[in-house]
Amino acid sequence: MGLAQEASRVAAEFEYSDAQVNKAVKEFIRQMDEGLEKSGTTMSQIPTYVTAVPNGTEKGLYMAVDLGGTNFRVCSINLNGDSTFSLTQSKVAIPKELMVAQTSKELFSFLAKQIATFLQTHHGEHYHATIRRRATIHSESGFEEREIFNLGFTFSFPVQQVGINKGTLIRWTKGFDIADAVGKDVCKLLQDEIDALHLPVRVAALVNDTVGTLMARSYTSPGKTGTLLGAIFGTGTNGAYVEKLDKVKKLNGSENSDNVDRTTGEMIINTEWGSFDNELRVLPNTPYDNSLDKETPNPGIQMFEKRISGMFLGEILRLAIVDLVKERKTGLFSDDNSSSNDVHSTTCLAENSPLWQPWGLDTSFLSIAHGDNSNGFKVTRQTLDKDYGVHAASAEDAEAVKLIAAAIGKRAARLSAVAIAAVVLATDKLSSPQDIATADDTPVNEDEMVDIGVDGSLVEFYPGFEEYIREALRQIEGVGKHGEKRIRIGIAKDGSGVGAALIALVADKLAKQAQLKEYGEE
Ligand code: BGC
């Protein structure tokens, strides 16, 4: 077989048919329901204790920090109360060794130091004034209430939440692995290190990035309708949505049910859909998916995420490429001038090419290859040469790589559509009588829109990601062409900043209400 056919054969392994998509949606809804009923299920369906989405009129100055991927971000956010906000932020890459540190203290003290630096740089006056006052007043209780920044802590890992600013880590994902943090309250871990530096900051809310995205989108989105779902398609993937409280059966009778504010009858649920179908009942599975899973610190877990998100897609492609290079008859990256039997010298892949190393291929390469319409795929060939030590790739090589990259990206988008459709269908957002009666080409009016906020490198940078999602949505039973048009997907940038600030605001309000109630009862 020639290279083009070989590449098509590999690409075909990543096809995920309409029938498979529909089957997966049904299984997704089943696992969502199961997760609402009891604990310990594959999809965790974590109650967040956040019971309302904002409407854009919220005001105030809040802080937010974000840990959950490659960078640690610290921000302060001024909510203007008119759907707008201003944000100041600083960002540092998380040192790789801290992601797998011996103790959680190493990581959390690093985070607290970043918060101190941020305060000194951007809120120096407030910071120095409070530190000075603290030194002279010697108040037992520390800072006065008005001097303290309420901080929303975006912590984007699965956490068993027991209150708005309390929750224990269930497991690490995305390459983090610090054993002694599992089972601990991550808000306390951070607050302890903040207190050790005497910073005027209170960790007021614990926030998953998807919940932040949902809040941020709701604050800024057009129209009166609140947002249904916040979803991340970035280094990892996950979604949080607005659920009816009475469907969250596992809350009834639980020791934390007193912490629930029941006024809206709703609660945001963090699905942790990255672990949807760890059993592989309906998920596609190729030899490359299998090899990748074995290389991770959490084999058998986050199986949905491992087929969708940015941390993994590059590695799937790398494994496919290396397979083709090793099967020399395919001719991928072959060095025509060599007659040796050793694979390293018959290929134009340098011996020290990152492509020989696990995790050596960045997912951004998929976007580059997939989007490359240059003459002779020059852009892809240049990137291969410059970043990956492939010095004489031909146009045919680049085309083969593009074909496989596109297939992997398309499968990821179709899987993303499964999650989106399942949430929309499970919450009955499309089953209005006019839906059944309306023709596919009937225009949709503003009030009928189902709003979804998304963030993450894939939705932002992968060419055509949303269109692939939409193509799949149109084929899903119960969504169809008309339903797909009603689903409005909008990028919600800064979910982990402004979203976390909004939750810190809600938490602050709830704490004040509780205090008033207590005084009233005394
Ligand atoms: C984590 C989620 C997070 C998602 C996106 C996943 O690995 O388990 O908590 O929301 O990544 O960052």
70-90 pLDDT, tens per residue? 899 999 999 998 888 899 999
Report the CATH number at residue 167.
Answer: 3.30.420.40
Q: pLDDT tens-digit profile of 456-478?
A: 999 999 999 999 999 999 999 99
Asked if the structure places residue 81 within a domain, the reply is: yes
User: Does residue 156 have an active-site annotation?
Assistant: yes
Q: Which atom of ligand 1 is nearest to the CA of 232?
A: 5
Structure confidence at residue 124 as a pLDDT band (50, 70, 90): confident
Q: What is the pLDDT of residue 447?
A: 77
Residue 320: other Cβ atoms inside 10 A: 26
Q: What is the pLDDT of residue 345?
A: 58
Nearest residue (by CA) to ligand 1, atom 9, is 157
Structure confidence at residue 493 as a pLDDT band (50, 70, 90): confident
- Dist. CA 265–CA 267, nearest whole Å: 7
Asked if the structure places residue 272 within a domain, the reply is: no
Name the nearest CA neighbour of 372 among 349, 393, 355: 393
Q: Are residues 59 and 195 in the same domain?
A: yes
Q: Are residues 65 and 187 in the same domain?
A: yes
Q: Are residues 65 and 202 in the same domain?
A: yes
Ligand 1 pocket, CB under 6 A:
68, 156-158, 173-174, 208-210, 232, 234, 236-238, 272, 274, 305
Task: Please say if the pLDDT value at position 343 is more than 60.
Answer: no
User: Does residue 171 have an active-site annotation?
Assistant: yes
- pLDDT higher for 429 or 341? 429
Q: Which atom of ligand 1 is nearest to the CA of 240?
A: 10
Please tell me which residue in 44, 76, 109, 156 is annotated as part of the active site: 156
What percent of the chain has pLDDT above 90?
Answer: 69
Q: Are residues 12 and 109 in the same domain?
A: no
Find the mean pLDDT for residues 133-160: 74
Structure confidence at residue 58 as a pLDDT band (50, 70, 90): confident
Structure confidence at residue 133 as a pLDDT band (50, 70, 90): low
Q: What is the pLDDT of residue 341?
A: 57
Structure confidence at residue 144 as a pLDDT band (50, 70, 90): low
Least confident of 88-102, 163-177, 218-232, 289-303: 218-232
Rounded to the nearest angstrom, the distance between the alpha carbon of 72 and the centre of ligand 1 is 14
Q: Which atom of ligand 1 is nearest to the CA of 275?
A: 8
Asked if the structure places residue 26 within a domain, the reply is: no
Q: What is the pLDDT of residue 514?
A: 73
Nearest residue (by CA) to ligand 1, atom 11, is 236
Please tell me which residue in 30, 133, 134, 171 is annotated as part of the active site: 171
Q: Which atom of ligand 1 is nearest to the CA of 69?
A: 12
Name the nearest CA neighbour of 412 among 316, 318, 308, 320: 308
Rounded to the nearest angstrom, the distance between the alpha carbon of 17 and the centre of ligand 1 is 26
Q: Are residues 58 and 132 in the same domain?
A: yes
Asked if the structure places residue 64 within a domain, the reply is: yes
Q: pLDDT tens-digit profile of 12-22?
A: 999 999 999 99
Q: Are residues 366 and 300 in the same domain?
A: yes
Domain boundary among 207, 226, 242: 207
Least confident of 324-328, 338-342, 442-446: 338-342
* Rg of the chain on CA atoms, in Å: 25
Asked if the structure places residue 444 within a domain, the reply is: no
Helix (H) / strand (E) element for 407: namely helix 395-426
Q: What is the pLDDT of residue 75?
A: 95
**Exposure string for 353-387, b = 16+ CB within 10 A, e = fewer:** bbbbeeebbbbbbbbbbbbbeeeebebbbebbeeb
Task: Please say if the pLDDT value at position 129 is more than 90.
Answer: no
Asked if the structure places residue 304 within a domain, the reply is: yes
By most ligand atoms within 8 Å of CB, the mutation choice from 177, 208, 457 for ligand 1 is 208
- pLDDT higher for 512 or 166? 166
Find the mean pLDDT for residues 497-521: 80
Q: Are residues 60 and 7 in the same domain?
A: no
Structure confidence at residue 453 as a pLDDT band (50, 70, 90): very high
Asked if the structure places residue 260 within a domain, the reply is: no
Q: What is the pLDDT of residue 164?
A: 87
Least confident of 191-205, 252-266, 358-372: 252-266
Q: Which atom of ligand 1 is nearest to the CA of 235?
A: 12
Rounded to the nearest angstrom, the distance between the alpha carbon of 357 and the centre of ligand 1 is 25
What secondary structure does DSSP assign to 408-450, as a single string?
Answer: HHHHHHHHHHHHHHHHHHHTT-S--HHHHHS-TTSPPPGGG-E
Q: pLDDT tens-digit profile of 311-333?
A: 999 999 999 999 999 887 778 88
Q: Are residues 54 and 184 in the same domain?
A: yes
By most ligand atoms within 8 Å of CB, the mutation choice from 66, 171, 172, 174 for ligand 1 is 174
Asked if residue 75 lies in contact with residue 89, where contact means CB atoms within 8 angstroms, the answer is yes
Find the mean pLDDT for residues 513-522: 69
Rounded to the nearest angstrom, the distance between the alpha carbon of 240 and the centre of ligand 1 is 10
Q: Are residues 111 and 11 in the same domain?
A: no
Task: Please say if the pLDDT value at position 57 is more than 90.
Answer: no
Q: Are residues 391 and 299 in the same domain?
A: yes
Q: How many residues does the chain have?
A: 522
User: Does residue 414 have an active-site annotation?
Assistant: no
Q: Which atom of ligand 1 is nearest to the CA of 210?
A: 10
Does the pTM surpass 0.85? The reply is yes
Task: Please say if the pLDDT value at position 25 is more than 80.
Answer: yes
What is the count of structural domains for the chain? 2
Q: Are residues 91 and 200 in the same domain?
A: yes
Rounded to the nearest angstrom, the distance between the alpha carbon of 158 and the centre of ligand 1 is 7
Domain boundary among 207, 242, 272: 207
- Dist. CA 483–CA 311, nearest whole Å: 31
Summary mean pLDDT of the chain: 89
Q: What is the pLDDT of residue 437?
A: 57
Asked if the structure places residue 65 within a domain, the reply is: yes
396: domain range? 3-19+287-408
Rounded to the nearest angstrom, the distance between the alpha carbon of 208 and the centre of ligand 1 is 8
Q: What is the pLDDT of residue 142?
A: 55
Q: What is the pLDDT of residue 364?
A: 95
Q: What is the pLDDT of residue 225?
A: 73
Domain boundary among 389, 408, 427: 408
Report the CATH number at residue 321.
Answer: 3.40.367.20
Q: Is 212 helix (H, G, I), strand (E, B) or coil?
A: helix
Rounded to the nearest angstrom, the distance between the alpha carbon of 112 and the centre of ligand 1 is 22
Q: Are residues 8 and 71 in the same domain?
A: no
